[in-house]
Structure 1
Amino acid sequence: MYGVIDLGSNTIRLALYKVTDNTLQLKLSKKHTAGLVGYVKKRRLTPEGIRKAVDVLNDFRMILENVRVERLYVFATASLRNIENTLEVTAEIKKNTGFDIDVLSGNEEAVFDYYGAMQTVDMRDGLLVDIGGGSTELVFYQNSEIVFTESIPLGSLNTYSENVADLLPTPDERKNIGKAVISELDKIIVSCKNIPTDMICGVGGTVRASRGLYNALKEKGPAATEYNTQDLKKMIDLAETDRKAAISLILKVAPERIHTLLPGMIILQTIAEYYASKKIVVSKSGVRDGYLYHKLETAGVIQAE
């Protein structure tokens, strides 16, 4: 058994895998909704935030004491990348949990997103989008090769915290989120805009929850693994036309994301409109899978093809 802990801005997750025929098979997944980005004040993770991370990691440690894990890797994304006291926080976590934290750059996170998604999605030409709690990673790829990666400092949780006063965003708040996303997208180099982006490969909890929302709204038929961008807009519009129904549906599908799902979906919709994307294909795998695969390949556990 091989394990990875993903210390994200919104959730902290432990995932355990077995390796069979050079492929990862997920055997256990446990998460805590920690909301670490909510503990960031003046670009520093507060002592309360550090204690929250330590408590969750020690809870995972108790689980790991009862499971034989040959290798365990712990990494953080925007949760610790986008703060000024990163070294202080990682040292405090090490002192109180024994875990060494690998803090990924935005580029590294995007690359691991891509290689993780490759395990379940045909990645030929398109745009990969991973909406986390504190950042959104974009990977432009063509002919099954990465062309360019970008990380923007807007995620579902920090966007909610900075723009939304109540549970769901108002029309004006929705516009403000869209403007903030467009401002970041305008900074991306022009050459990337020539890459075919009809399809978005969606990675991460926000996109998976949006797929759950889409399936819950469908009247019949098998569960979908993709939906079109017009369906995405309809789901977001529901919050304005029938707020009570939207809240009820989110509580049914992803209750832990009641306040962050709509902001995350607005980020996704804005990106889709900006790049004229037609559909969103949801990947079952992502940064954790790509990161662990890379680590095990480097260690010789998985053989490079």
Structure 2
Amino acid sequence: MRLAGAGKVYHGMCKHLPERRNPTLQRRLIMQRIGIIDLGSNTVRLVVFDVERHFGRRLRPHEFREVLNEKTVAGLSAYVVDGVFTSAGIKRAVGALEGHLVSARNVGCKQMYVFATAVLRNCSNSKQAVREIERATNLSIDVITGEEEAHLGFVGASITQPLGDGLLIDIGGGSTELTRIEGGRDVANTSIPQGSVSSYARYVSLVFPTPDEREAIRKAFATQLGNAPQLGRNLQAYGVGGGVRAVAKMVGCMAGREKAVKQLAPESVASVLALLDRDPSQFAHLAVKAAPDRLHSLVPSAIILQECLAAVGAESLAMCKYGLREGYLLERVLS
């Protein structure tokens, strides 16, 4: 920290003012470049952050920024056969991680943290697969539970401002995380082992699901949602993650916008599915613009989101800027 004018020559003075530093602030503020890799069911994403680390208090939005954000659409859930993550899937995961490590080194990032979600959490050979990937990449992989995933999504979503009472929805490739919020705290975290990509893999034969296939996705998710703990009614909904964001982008594209909308109404989500019924060609062309890397998972995401909003009687959903990766940075790395 500099005093005003420190190091400058003033007219009428014979000497430079000495530069002064506060040693207490120097000890408490450290600049760090940190890489986070999210090993997901559909994508493997690297985000490199520059962080002003202030010891003794929580991270604020202006104290970290993205230096690099890149993803590989690895489709790892497609490599789970009869519950087993195959050797081909392990090879695919290793290749994606190695590519991201090169990118991280290119921007001078030496601190790397990797966490994995549903694809490695739910496979029957999880420990073996993780060991093989760790051995090949020399990385340590943190396989987080569904409840931890929901909690960390809440932590990230709360960075910009406290969230009011409601339900936070995160539709991933292999699971859907639901967080009940009361009094600014996450009081119940639920993970449903059905996501957009796993729904596609199990129920869809081509790219976009037929009406019968959409109904099969809906019934399967509704059954699991019905078995989840009571979530409440008439709640404000919040959204994080790629699945919800893809639907928000599609709604924006249908309205002639280039970006995702920040608020989603249940009627908007229903209009996405209605367009697929009414004009499959127009739907396909808009989907290519809105979510080219999520064509196969867009409709399952919309179905799952529609069911979640209906289950709690939400009248609107507000998109949150930050989510799981930022929550992991804040609570698992900086804490």
Shorter-chain TM-score range? over 0.9
Matched, 1:291 2:328: yes
CA distance in structure 2 between the aligned counterparts of 1:216 and 1:121, rounded to whole angstroms: 27
Q: CA deviation at 1:45?
A: 0.4
CA distance in structure 2 between the aligned counterparts of 1:279 and 1:175, rounded to whole angstroms: 23
Gaps of 5+ in 1: 299-305
CA distance in structure 2 between the aligned counterparts of 1:265 and 1:90, rounded to whole angstroms: 31
Matched, 1:10 2:42: yes
Matched, 1:171 2:211: yes
Give the alignment of 1:72-151 within 5 angstroms.
72-120=112-160, 122-151=162-191
Give the alignment of 1:149-188 within 5 angstroms.
149-188=189-228
Q: CA deviation at 1:189?
A: 2.4
Identify which range, 156-165 or 168-177, moves more after superposition: 168-177
Q: CA deviation at 1:120?
A: 3.3
Partner amino acid, structure 1, of 2:246: A
Could you say if the C-alpha distance between residues 223 and 178 of structure 1 is closer, same or farther in structure 2, counting changes exceeding 3 Å? closer
- Identity over the aligned pairs, expressed in percent? 37
CA distance in structure 1 between the aligned counterparts of 2:191 and 2:110, rounded to whole angstroms: 32
CA distance in structure 2 between the aligned counterparts of 1:229 and 1:150, rounded to whole angstroms: 21
Matched, 1:240 2:277: yes
Provide the secondary structure at the position in 1 that maps to 2:65. Answer: strand
Structure 1 partner of 2:86: 46
Count of residue pairs the alignment pairs up: 295
The question of whether the paired residues in 2 share the 8 Å contact of 1:15 and 1:29 is answered with yes
CA distance in structure 1 between the aligned counterparts of 2:283 and 2:333, rounded to whole angstroms: 42
Structure 2 partner of 1:226: 263
Indicate which of 242, 255, 278 corresponds to 2:292: 255
Larger radius of gyration: 2
CA distance in structure 2 between the aligned counterparts of 1:14 and 1:221, rounded to whole angstroms: 24
Structure 2 partner of 1:193: 232
Q: CA deviation at 1:93?
A: 0.8
Provide the secondary structure at the position in 2 that maps to 1:193. Answer: coil
Identify which range, 273-282 or 216-225, moves more after superposition: 216-225
CA distance in structure 1 between the aligned counterparts of 2:208 and 2:255, rounded to whole angstroms: 22
- Structure scoring higher RCO (CA < 8 A, sep ≥ 6) equals 1
Cα RMSD for the two superposed structures: 1.7
Provide the secondary structure at the position in 1 that maps to 2:186. Answer: strand
Partner amino acid, structure 2, of 1:277: A
Q: CA deviation at 1:68?
A: 2.1
CA distance in structure 2 between the aligned counterparts of 1:60 and 1:221, rounded to whole angstroms: 28
Could you say if the C-alpha distance between residues 121 and 209 of structure 1 is closer, same or farther in structure 2, counting changes exceeding 3 Å? farther
The question of whether the paired residues in 1 share the 8 Å contact of 2:38 and 2:115 is answered with yes
Could you say if the C-alpha distance between residues 215 and 121 of structure 1 is closer, same or farther in structure 2, counting changes exceeding 3 Å? farther
CA distance in structure 2 between the aligned counterparts of 1:219 and 1:97, rounded to whole angstroms: 44
CA distance in structure 2 between the aligned counterparts of 1:186 and 1:61, rounded to whole angstroms: 41
The question of whether the paired residues in 2 share the 8 Å contact of 1:54 and 1:96 is answered with yes
The question of whether the paired residues in 2 share the 8 Å contact of 1:128 and 1:139 is answered with yes
Gaps of 5+ in 2: 1-32
The question of whether the paired residues in 2 share the 8 Å contact of 1:124 and 1:145 is answered with no
TM-score for both structures, normalised by structure 1? 0.92
The question of whether the paired residues in 2 share the 8 Å contact of 1:160 and 1:260 is answered with yes
CA distance in structure 1 between the aligned counterparts of 2:228 and 2:278, rounded to whole angstroms: 34
The question of whether the paired residues in 1 share the 8 Å contact of 2:35 and 2:48 is answered with yes
